[in-house]
Amino acid sequence: MIIHLKSSTSEAEAKVLAEQNKAVLFKDECFVLVTSSKVKEANAALQLAADKIVVTESDIQLAGKPYRADKRTIQVADWSIGGHTQHTVLITGPCSVESEEQIEASAQLCVETGVRVLRAGCYKPRTSPYTFQGLGLNGLLLLDKMRQRFGLRIITEIRDSSHADEVIEYADIVQVGAKAMYDQSVLRKCGKSGKPVLLKRGFGSTLQEFVQAAEFVLSGGNSQVMLCERGIRTFETKTRFTLDLCGAVWLKKHTNLPVIIDPSHAIGFAYGVADLSRASLALGVDGLLIETHPNPAEALSDAEQQLNFDEFRALKNSLSTLATALGRKLI
Amino acid sequence: MIIHLKSSTSEAEAKVLAEQNKAVLFKDECFVLVTSSKVKEANAALQLAADKIVVTESDIQLAGKPYRADKRTIQVADWSIGGHTQHTVLITGPCSVESEEQIEASAQLCVETGVRVLRAGCYKPRTSPYTFQGLGLNGLLLLDKMRQRFGLRIITEIRDSSHADEVIEYADIVQVGAKAMYDQSVLRKCGKSGKPVLLKRGFGSTLQEFVQAAEFVLSGGNSQVMLCERGIRTFETKTRFTLDLCGAVWLKKHTNLPVIIDPSHAIGFAYGVADLSRASLALGVDGLLIETHPNPAEALSDAEQQLNFDEFRALKNSLSTLATALGRKLI
Amino acid sequence: MIIHLKSSTSEAEAKVLAEQNKAVLFKDECFVLVTSSKVKEANAALQLAADKIVVTESDIQLAGKPYRADKRTIQVADWSIGGHTQHTVLITGPCSVESEEQIEASAQLCVETGVRVLRAGCYKPRTSPYTFQGLGLNGLLLLDKMRQRFGLRIITEIRDSSHADEVIEYADIVQVGAKAMYDQSVLRKCGKSGKPVLLKRGFGSTLQEFVQAAEFVLSGGNSQVMLCERGIRTFETKTRFTLDLCGAVWLKKHTNLPVIIDPSHAIGFAYGVADLSRASLALGVDGLLIETHPNPAEALSDAEQQLNFDEFRALKNSLSTLATALGRKLI
Amino acid sequence: MIIHLKSSTSEAEAKVLAEQNKAVLFKDECFVLVTSSKVKEANAALQLAADKIVVTESDIQLAGKPYRADKRTIQVADWSIGGHTQHTVLITGPCSVESEEQIEASAQLCVETGVRVLRAGCYKPRTSPYTFQGLGLNGLLLLDKMRQRFGLRIITEIRDSSHADEVIEYADIVQVGAKAMYDQSVLRKCGKSGKPVLLKRGFGSTLQEFVQAAEFVLSGGNSQVMLCERGIRTFETKTRFTLDLCGAVWLKKHTNLPVIIDPSHAIGFAYGVADLSRASLALGVDGLLIETHPNPAEALSDAEQQLNFDEFRALKNSLSTLATALGRKLI
């Protein structure tokens, strides 16, 4: 149950109510309490204190359409996605920051093709300790340089909570990786960060769990959350993962959060990225996360799935044509 | 290994070679032998008799790009899909033939919206013996009536081999259902049928097995096979199945068979069918199979996923716009 | 809803009631009607005609504990499993009948180790048309010879309905293969066969669908059905399938049918068969289906997963010890 | 590639070699380097410095049988599991520490039934922010009290790295939860902890990834790692997860780490825990983790799957009988 407290409620009163009702408390335009969804009726004290009460079916509460029918707007610099914008944001860059030369080439590709957000990881969630683990803080500093030099926005990933504060400091959009989707410490830090958050779905996670992970951020007081579908693990092994566009449609239908698609990690092979990007755009998603590399064959991670720059230029052009036909605007 | 025998080879000689090499034999423009893909080198007798020899990596042989790079063309009446046509064929109709009134309404929707192929099942592969099982032969007769009255082409499904001959007789395009994908008796009958075959992927079947099922039809001498992705079974239960568009892209890349998408069975809910249809079209597929019903709420099977007629009309319009932008032609 | 009609009811009356209520009708000790489980209340005519009425939650009806709490007994020759027997039946033999020499060696292993049921396939559900497809009727004739020569019982598999009648004629226990689990034509023939049926779970099939497949047989009037778990398809590829012992426990808890385990197909590698057999026995299953071959390395199918004879002898001994400790009897 | 450096090698020399070869370095009986498994040949410098070199097929290196054929021994207090002990350790207790009264009752059950290790979570990895999250540090203090009062060993779970240090301090065996399996920060802390680690398999994780997660701990210099299979996520929803005993057998065959089974989380229902525990014991596992609660119906988490005390006593007895028949010792 979600309870909007009257604007006259003091913080002290709100805290008492939160504790009495085992509710999470945060401040939006007013104080908001969220109890377990098992609570279906407000007691007298809550009814007295409340401006608005929403009973929810499951613990998809703040993210659900029944609470808020309109899609949330994510504000980044002077532009936004979601809400009524009909924007689809393109995000591109390499899997990992590898060197200044490499990330600068990627930044220049963004500038050339009109892409506003540069992506690259600095803390890589590799499954083996014996492979390249990312440049860490040095990577973040290189991304910061690119932001200043080219006026780009930066999205980069938190792998675990040991470096969450640094990533939150340097990123314009904080990415929570698929393998960290259940990490409450990371999610709670994002909830307090005030920065837009792109939350990736764990590849073994249900849609219910995925949206509930977003609830950790939303109930921390941060309403700037995007959901990113990036492929789930199934029995099929010819492709790296299985892009769940049925799931993306479900998210559009049942939640109020913008939906981003990452086709690169889903299929795991460059040959399929263009087709899947066009399909995702035609589905009406709010953003696309596409891996590119100046020289994919030599990439230190995810070599097979990154587009080279010419492939990306061609894809960008076809997406622009398609967006126009769909009444959407590619930004 | 695929061996094209010289045009001078007699049927008797071809049969001897087939037996000696444990090969499947069929007649296309010439006699063709297909051995296990484990055979990597032709013996002297085969080399002498052959015009062309293709060694294949796996038992995806006749369906594979290495054997035949060009997409196969499926000829139905005076139109075709696949090949170089850039056609995407729309197929619609109810899950099941329920009555003459119902199927006639569906046929009229086809005529009104320019759809050339009417679909409806007569032998339903229900998972319970206690639910509606289809009208059987009476259903086929009703479909035949619609064909004659409205000049439509008919696609309908074989559930198992007990009625395969009837379905092959009455259908213009024979559908092999997902639950019959491994049924060799059905597949072999299709291989001898001379009719276009739409083969649905089993929801628990790998892409490798799916294409190998097509090999049963192709190696029977029938080159008119289309592959239909209709959702696979995964851990996600918010949607009925998970549409595997990564798989569809893989099929486009690695096989020479046209690819059809069935978004209705994949998501299992009408609300998502339009989005998924547009996504599939943007992916460049050769056909779409969309369930519609004059009154979905009263359908005897698959009630939740069938579009009503107004929803289909709106979808058809948006698909036409999209097809133009994509350089494809909706037929 | 399951309705036992009064013993005074004539067949003609039963048929009328079946038609009026869209119910399946069969004869057990009395005439039995089964309607859809959505029917929750019997109308006046049914109430008048009935001796007993059971309302069921889902279309697991005849197979469910609420209808019949006691486990069914399967009678084969002069011995039985299920019921109150505490028997676990061992079944062994090769994947396929390959030659008289091979199947005779297998039959002799049965005799030597006290195994009563010999298994071997004659119609192989291979996923490729270019591999060994089984000996067909010749295989059945060889199995018949073994039965007569060694007094063994024979279990062999129906792949599809084109040869269902032959298999039913020659087998003592009819196996419905995993890929035929949805084949209504096969299931209905089994329902009329009067022979014990071992129904394998499709590797992509839910437990609900699996038990509903058994309902096709049971509602045909054949109460001799065993359920065989043989591994489901998951994301894990180090083993061929994933043996679902949680599912086996669920079947024991919720159905009245004996449960058989096939560890060989589940793991797909000989090294794991002994451990999984012991685990299954400790779970309290009614039977084990274990693949053995006189020379696994040269087997024409499933070479990697078949035990050689010494491995089977050792396994048999350890199972006997274990059975005693568990209070079960290995037969 | 794993390289054991000669005992004469100094730490400084070892560090230089590690850096030159992009290898992980740790100290066991000698300095050990581990490079990527892609390195298949040692250069001259390494060959000169090495006592022993093991080339590995994949990044399952230190955990693999090719490196070390014997199962590792885990030493806890004055007893051990793994190695040649034939021990199966029983671990029990509630899902969460809820109160002193509750955890004391659980501790007394351990004492009464001869169980040496008490389990209970303090930081719960719930999927919703609106449910009970565990007692945190207060829970750890209660567990510490039970250890001192009853002489039990304590196993408790790290949810994320924000509280990893506290858990490592208070636990005798550190549990890394399924949702933290990819958390490198947690794994590296465990690698430096010197305490036995029970690593749970992520429910969406392959066996390859699971064992590679153990490599993060092992390559930190901690050889005391146990692998715990606790169910994977599949399409089947009648049970909470699917216990992967095929996977457990694979781990026994291919790794040198002890294997523990958690049947409670796998099936998610108390009715199946006894059967699955017996099956796991018959499989020859090194330990069982079984949830019990003084009053399961009132548990704050996992209410449906916890055994009550009488159920556990009965299970313990049947496991003892079974262990004897299997030649194993239950401790």
What is the pLDDT averaged over residues D174-182? 97
Residues B313 and B180 in one domain: yes
Its sign, for the CA torsion C13, C16, C18, C20, is negative
Residues A21 and A137 in one domain: no
Its sign, for the CA torsion D257, D263, D264, D265, is positive
Instruction: Tell me which residue has tokens 């590619």.
Output: A330
The residue in chain B having the minimum alpha-carbon distance to the alpha carbon of residue C191 is: B129
Give the residue from A49, B129, D326, D123 showing the smallest Cα distance to C320.
D326
Residues C96 and C12 in one domain: no
The whole-angstrom separation of Cα B64 and Cα B227 is 13
The residue in chain D having the minimum alpha-carbon distance to the alpha carbon of residue A131 is: D36
Q: What is the pLDDT of residue C242?
A: 98
Across chain D, mean pLDDT equals 96
- What value of ipTM does the predicted structure carry? 0.96
Asked whether the predicted pLDDT for residue D225 surpasses 90, the reply is yes
The residue in chain D having the minimum alpha-carbon distance to the alpha carbon of residue C239 is: D246
Given a contact cutoff of 8 angstroms between Cβ atoms, the answer to whether B174 and B198 are in contact is yes
Contact A185 D205 (CB under 8 A): no
- Percent of chain B residues past pLDDT 70, beyond the cut: 100
Residues C104 and C48 in one domain: no
Chain C environment of B125 (Cβ under 8 Å) = 182, 184
Instruction: Tell me which residue has tokens 């069969």.
Output: C26
Its sign, for the CA torsion A155, A158, A164, A166, is negative
Number of B:C CB contacts under 8 A?
A: 106
Q: What is the pLDDT of residue B268?
A: 97
A206 to each of A72, B230, D74, how far by Cα in Å?
A: 22, 20, 35
pLDDT in tens, B159-217: 999 999 999 999 999 999 999 999 999 999 999 999 999 999 999 999 999 999 999 99
In a domain, D66, yes or no: no
Residues D35 and D80 in one domain: no
In a domain, D172, yes or no: yes
> Six-digit token pair at A309?
């720059």
pLDDT in tens, C132-144: 889 999 999 999 9
Residues D100 and D159 in one domain: yes
Residues D186 and D87 in one domain: yes
Global confidence as pTM: 0.97
DSSP line for D102-159: HHHHHHHHHHHHT--EEE-BSS---S-TTS----THHHHHHHHHHHHHH--EEEEEE-
Number of C:D CB contacts under 8 A?
A: 135
Residue B303's pLDDT band (cuts 50, 70, 90) = confident
Contact D233 B235 (CB under 8 A): yes
D130 to each of A24, A214, C198, how far by Cα in Å?
A: 7, 12, 47
Contact D321 C325 (CB under 8 A): yes
Asked whether the predicted pLDDT for residue B315 surpasses 90, the reply is yes
In a domain, A294, yes or no: yes
Contact C125 B219 (CB under 8 A): no
Residues A31 and A82 in one domain: no
Count other Cβ atoms within 10 Å, centred on residue A118: 26
Tell me the nearest-neighbour CA distance from B253 into chain C, angstroms.
Answer: 21
Chain D environment of A219 (Cβ under 8 Å) = 129-130
State the best of A236, A253, A271, A319 to mutate against chain B, taking most chain B CBs within 10 Å: A236
Chain B environment of A324 (Cβ under 8 Å) = 325
> Six-digit token pair at D298?
């009132």
β-bridge partners, B75: B80
Contact C204 B209 (CB under 8 A): no
Number of A:C CB contacts under 8 A?
A: 6
Tell me the nearest-neighbour CA distance from A114 into chain B, angstroms.
Answer: 22
Given a contact cutoff of 8 angstroms between Cβ atoms, the answer to whether C187 and C210 are in contact is no
Q: Is A318 exposed, middle or buried (0-12, 13-18, 19+ CB in 10 A)?
A: middle
Q: What is the pLDDT of residue D132?
A: 87
In a domain, A282, yes or no: yes
In a domain, A66, yes or no: no
Q: What is the pLDDT of residue D51?
A: 96
Residues C45 and C109 in one domain: no
In a domain, C228, yes or no: yes
- Percent of chain B residues past pLDDT 90, beyond the cut: 96
The whole-angstrom separation of Cα C262 and Cα C276 is 9
In a domain, A228, yes or no: yes
Tell me the nearest-neighbour CA distance from D19 into chain C, angstroms.
Answer: 33
The whole-angstrom separation of Cα B236 and Cα A248 is 12
How many domains in chain C?
2
State the best of D205, D232, D233, D235 to mutate against chain B, taking most chain B CBs within 10 Å: D235
Chains contacting C (3+ CB pairs below 8 angstroms): A, B, D
Pairing of β A79-82 and β A117-119: unpaired
Given a contact cutoff of 8 angstroms between Cβ atoms, the answer to whether B46 and B55 are in contact is no
Count other Cβ atoms within 10 Å, centred on residue B113: 17
Sequence letter at residue D176 = V
Q: Who among A249, A279, A325 is closest to B283 (CB)?
A: A279
* Torsion angle in degrees (nearest 10) through CA of D236, D239, D242, D248: -160
Rg over alpha carbons for chain C, rounded to the nearest Å, is 20
Given a contact cutoff of 8 angstroms between Cβ atoms, the answer to whether A190 and D191 are in contact is no
Chain D environment of C253 (Cβ under 8 Å) = 271-272
Asked whether the predicted pLDDT for residue A258 surpasses 90, the reply is yes
Given a contact cutoff of 8 angstroms between Cβ atoms, the answer to whether A156 and A175 are in contact is yes
Its domain, for residue A31, covers: 2-54
What is the pLDDT averaged over residues C24-41? 96
Contact D250 C272 (CB under 8 A): yes
Chain A environment of D209 (Cβ under 8 Å) = 127
State the best of D38, D123, D184 to mutate against chain A, taking most chain A CBs within 10 Å: D184
In a domain, D63, yes or no: no
The whole-angstrom separation of Cα C170 and Cα B185 is 20
The residue in chain B having the minimum alpha-carbon distance to the alpha carbon of residue C203 is: B204
Tell me the nearest-neighbour CA distance from C240 into chain A, angstroms.
Answer: 11
Tell me the nearest-neighbour CA distance from A204 into chain C, angstroms.
Answer: 10
The residue in chain B having the minimum alpha-carbon distance to the alpha carbon of residue C34 is: B130
Q: What is the pLDDT of residue D302?
A: 82
**With b meaning 16 or more CB within 10 Å and e meaning fewer, what string describes C44-68?**
eebeebbeeeeebeebbbbbbeebb
Pairing of β A24-27 and β C87-93: unpaired
Chains contacting B (3+ CB pairs below 8 angstroms): A, C, D
Residues A32 and A163 in one domain: no
Residue spans of alpha helices (H) in chain A: 11-20, 44-49, 100-113, 137-150, 164-170, 184-193, 207-218, 245-254, 263-267, 273-283, 309-326
The residue in chain D having the minimum alpha-carbon distance to the alpha carbon of residue B241 is: D235
Chain C environment of A234 (Cβ under 8 Å) = 235
pLDDT in tens, A80-113: 999 999 999 999 999 999 999 999 999 999 999 9
Residues B183 and B94 in one domain: yes
CATH number for position A205: 3.20.20.70
The least confident of B53-62, B265-274, C125-134 is C125-134
Asked whether the predicted pLDDT for residue B132 surpasses 90, the reply is no
Chain D environment of C324 (Cβ under 8 Å) = 325
Residues C18 and C108 in one domain: no
More confidently predicted of B299 and D231: D231
Q: What string of H, E and C letters represents the secondary structure of C66-104?
A: CCCCCCCEEEECCEEEECCCCEEEEEEECCECCCHHHHH
The whole-angstrom separation of Cα D257 and Cα D250 is 12
